[in-house]
Structure 1
C-alpha cells in the first residue's frame, strides 16, 4: 500500500478484531489465509484490525477448548475490548455448532455489548435485516449438517477398516507391536512409539511383540486361570521379579486386569466400545454397537484360555447381587473418599469397573446409586496425590541413570535440585495429563524460576497418569515463560526438546576419560 493510501486510511478508521479458526478436519483454509481475506475486507470497509483471536487446530463443534473464542467473548463482556467490530471469515469459522441457537447466542453476546460481528466471505451483510437473518440460519444449519454428514462418512470408513482387520489408533499394549502394511498388505516394518504412517493408503495391524513379552502374557493368563491367582498377586510377583510393563512402570492390579480382558490378545479387532460423536457427549456403547473383526491378528493367547479367564472374571460379579456390588462400591467410597475406574480396578476384593458398567449400564449410574457425584477437582486431587508419591522414584531413576553413565550427582534433600558433575543443575517436574473433551492430550508445565536450574526435565504423563508418556529436556535459557501449556505436538521450537527416554540427559552427564598429554 502506498504511503498516501495509509495516510488516507489512518483517519476515521473503526477499530476491529479478527477471529480465525482452523480445525484438524478442515485444512482447506489456514488461519493465515483467513487473516489475509479479513484484512483485505477491513481495508475496503475502513476497519483497522487491532486484535487477533485464533483457534488453530480446533473443532468448531463446540466452544470447549477454543481458548481464542472464549477469550474474545470474555474481553467483550468484561469491557476490556478496545474494538467495536469482530470480523470472521465465514459462518463455519465462527462454528459448526449442532444447535444453531448456540451459534446465534455467541453472536448475540457480542452484539449485546455493542460489538458487531461481520463475515467477510459471505454473500450477505450481517446488518440485522430479515434477509441476513434468514441466510444466517440457513448457513448455520448447513455448517452443522456438513459436520454431521462428515461424521457419518468417517464412521463408515473406520468401521470398514476395522472389519478388514486394520488397527484404528491407540497404543498396541504389552506383548504387541504396531506393524505397517501397504495397500496390498505387504509389510513395511514396525511402527515405533510416536511414529505414524505417512502415506494415506498404508494401514496398521497388530503383531506379536518380543518372545519374552508374549510368553509373559501367556504366563499371566495361566497363573490367573490354572493357579487361580488374583490380579494383585500376579502383579506383586512380577514386581518382585523386577519385570516392568511396556511403559517401564510397576505392575498393578489394574494393568494385569486390562491384559486379561482385552480381546486383541486372541487376535480380535474390536472398536466403538465408546463414542464421542460430534463432540457432544462421551458415551459407553452397548456390546451390540461394537464393531469387531474376529481372528484378524496373530493371537498370543489360546481362545480357550481367554474364555476361561472371562468366565472367572464374570463369575466374581455374578456371585454378587446388585446390592452386594453396590455395598462393595460404597465401602470403597468411604475408604478412598473418591471413585474412578482406576480406583475401582486397583481395589482388591471389589468387582472391576467393567463389571459395574455391565451390571448397571455405566459407571455414572453405579455412582448415583451409592450417592456419589463425580467432581473433576476431586479426581485431580487423587491423581496429584499419586504423582507426588511417584516423584521420589522418578528422581531416584534419574540419579541412577546418571551414575550408571559415569556421572555423579549431588541431590539437594530440600529442593530435589540435582547438581550434575558440578557442571550443570537439573530440576524435575511431573506434568499431569489433562484430556480435552475431544480426547486430545494436554499438559501444564510449571518451570521453577526460583531454583534457576540450567535444565528442567518435564515428565509428561500418559492419559491415565500412571506412566511417563515422554520427556521434555528444557534448557532454562531457551524458556521465556514460567508456565508452558503444551499439547502432544507443538512445533519444532518446543518438540526439538522432546524425547522418548532420558538417554540424552545421561549422555550429557557421561564422563569420558582423556589421556594425559605427554
Structure 2
C-alpha cells in the first residue's frame, strides 16, 4: 500500500463573526483528503481576514514564502473553494498566486467545487469565471454595506472614528436608550446596539465654544488659539499639544453643530484612500445635541472660505516666498502652522502638489519627493498590522491593552510592545537595507520590527527586539545578517503569541 499524499490546507474567514467558518472548511477538506488518500500535514489559516488582497493575510503570505523557499514539506494544497483563496478585484492576481504554487510543483485542489482543477480548458474557464464572480461578490457587498451605513447615518447613528475634543461616543440600544460611554478603543459588541455622539465634559465643551468665539468675534487665528491653549496646558483629544491644523479641524467639522457626516473620505475595497468633495458627503443635520449654533459655525466657515477665496495664484506664491525667506525652508507642517497662510492642502490643490508650488517660486528642497508616497504607503499599513497583532494575541488568550494614541501594547499587565515598520531601501550597489530606529519616548520592553518587502507593500519578516539586549538607538539590517541578530528573527508572530499565552499552573507543571 502506497503512502498517502502529503498535503496542506488553507482556510480563511472574512470576519470574526464567522467563528465556525474555518472549522466547517476544515471538516470538508478533511473528508476530501480521506476520500482521495491524502494526509494533511500543515495548516495555513487567516482568521477574520478580508480576501480582497494579500496584505493583512499572514497565513497566505507564509504559505507563499514557504513554497518559494522550497520549505513546504507537502505536495498539494487543499482549499475549500475559489472564494476562500481570495476575492481579489483583479482575477489575474488570484491566478498569479496559484501560478507561484504550480511552478513549485504544488497543485491546488478546490474541495467544494464541482470541477477538477486539472488544467484543462473547461477547468480554466470555470475557474476564471469563479474568480471573477468572487471579486464581483465583494463589489456588490461593498455597495450594499455602503447603502446600509448611509441609512444608519440618516437615522442619526455614528459610523466609526473618534468622537473628537468636546464630544464623547455614547452606546445606545435599538430603542436609543443610553447604555454607556465608550472609551477610546472600545467598540460595540451587539449588532443591535448603536453609537451616537454627545457632549463631553463641561470644560471641554467650554473650550470648543471659546474657540469659535475667539475665531469669529475676536478675530484670533487658528495659530493664536493653539498657542493660547498650549500655554494653558490644555491637550487635544489625542493627548498632544494643539496645532493650527487641529484647531482648524474643529472649526470646520459639522459634528460640532450636531450634524452626522459620513463619506468625507473613502477606502473602499482596500483601494487608495481618497478625500471626497462635499457633494459626496452623506449628512444628517440635527442628529446630535449641538455644541455651537449653526449661525456661529457658518460664520467660521465663511471667514475661512473668504480667506482662501481672496488669494490669487500670484498672492499664494508671494506668501510662500515670504514664508521661505523668513523660515529658510518649507514643508506641509511649516505652511499649516504659519499664520495668515493658506493651508498646505490648498497649495497642493491649486498647483497640483506641494513640490510643484515650490518649483514655481524657484525653490527646491534638494531631495527626491518620491519618499512621500512611500511614507504614506507605510503609514497606511501600520494601523491594520497593529490590529492584527492585537487580534492574534487575544486569540492566544493573552490580555492586551492598546494605547489608542501611541499604539503601545501592554501585554498581560507585565510588559509592553511597540510596532515599527522598517522601510526597505536600495543601496547604490542594488542591495537591500532596513533601518529600525527605536522609539525612545515609548521605551517598550519589546520592539516588534517588521521588515517590509521590496516595494514596501507587505511584511517580509519580523524581529522581536528586547530592550534588555541594549541595541542602542537604531539597528541596521541587510539581506543576510549575523547570528546575533538572526536569533531574534521570525517568519511570523507565532512566537510572540506563544510567550504571551496564559498557561495554567497545572499545565506548566
Q: Classify the secondary structure of the residue corresponding to 1:309.
A: helix
Q: Classify the secondary structure of the residue corresponding to 1:198.
A: coil
> Residue 264 of structure 2 contacts residue 280 of structure 2 at CA under 8 Å; is this kept in 1?
yes
Q: 1:481 to 1:203 in 2, by over 3 A?
A: farther
**Where do 5+ consecutive residues of structure 2 fail to align?**
360-368, 381-405, 407-437, 472-486, 503-509
Tell which deviates more after alignment, 120-129 or 40-49: 40-49
**Where do 5+ consecutive residues of structure 1 fail to align?**
1-7, 384-393, 395-414, 419-425, 453-479, 497-518
Distance 2:216 2:498 in 1: 49
Q: Deviations along 1:148-175, whole A, 9 cap, x unmatched? A: 1111111111001111111101111110
Q: Could you state the TM-score of these two structures normalised by the residue count of structure 2?
A: 0.69
Q: Deviations along 1:215-272, whole A, 9 cap, x unmatched? A: 0101111112222222222222212212222333322222212111111111111110
Q: 1:74 to 1:179 in 2, by over 3 A?
A: same
2:44 matches 1:53: yes
Equivalent position of 1:22 in the other structure: 13
Equivalent position of 1:462 in the other structure: none
1:304-315 superposed matches below 5 A: 304-315=295-306
Q: 1:92 to 1:161 in 2, by over 3 A?
A: same
Per-residue deviation at 1:337?
8.1
Tell which deviates more after alignment, 212-221 or 71-80: 71-80
Q: 1:54 to 1:359 in 2, by over 3 A?
A: same
Q: CA RMSD in A?
A: 4.1
Distance 1:281 1:381 in 2: 13
1:341-352 superposed matches below 5 A: 344-352=335-343
2:226 matches 1:235: yes
Q: 1:248 to 1:100 in 2, by over 3 A?
A: closer
Please, which of 279, 283, 292 is the counterpart of residue 288 of structure 1?
279
Equivalent position of 1:256 in the other structure: 247
Per-residue deviation at 1:432?
10
- For these two proteins, the number of residue pairs brought into alignment is 410
Equivalent position of 1:447 in the other structure: 466
> Residue 158 of structure 2 contacts residue 260 of structure 2 at CA under 8 Å; is this kept in 1?
yes
2:372 matches 1:375: yes
Please, which of 72, 95, 107 is the counterpart of residue 104 of structure 1?
95
Q: Classify the secondary structure of the residue corresponding to 1:42.
A: helix
Tell which deviates more after alignment, 150-159 or 46-55: 46-55
Distance 2:20 2:289 in 1: 42
Q: 1:381 to 1:51 in 2, by over 3 A?
A: closer
1:335-414 superposed matches below 5 A: 344-356=335-347, 359=350, 365-366=353-354, 370=358, 372-376=369-373
Q: 1:162 to 1:329 in 2, by over 3 A?
A: farther
1:477-496 superposed matches below 5 A: none
Distance 2:379 2:120 in 1: 54
Please, which of 162, 166, 184 is the counterpart of residue 175 of structure 2?
184
Distance 1:336 1:446 in 2: 39
Q: 1:90 to 1:259 in 2, by over 3 A?
A: same
Q: 1:484 to 1:104 in 2, by over 3 A?
A: closer
> Residue 338 of structure 1 contacts residue 379 of structure 1 at CA under 8 Å; is this kept in 2?
no
Q: Classify the secondary structure of the residue corresponding to 1:205.
A: strand
Q: 1:358 to 1:78 in 2, by over 3 A?
A: same
Please, which of 261, 268, 285 is the counterpart of residue 277 of structure 1?
268
2:94 matches 1:75: no
Per-residue deviation at 1:105?
1.9
Tell which deviates more after alignment, 208-217 or 43-52: 43-52
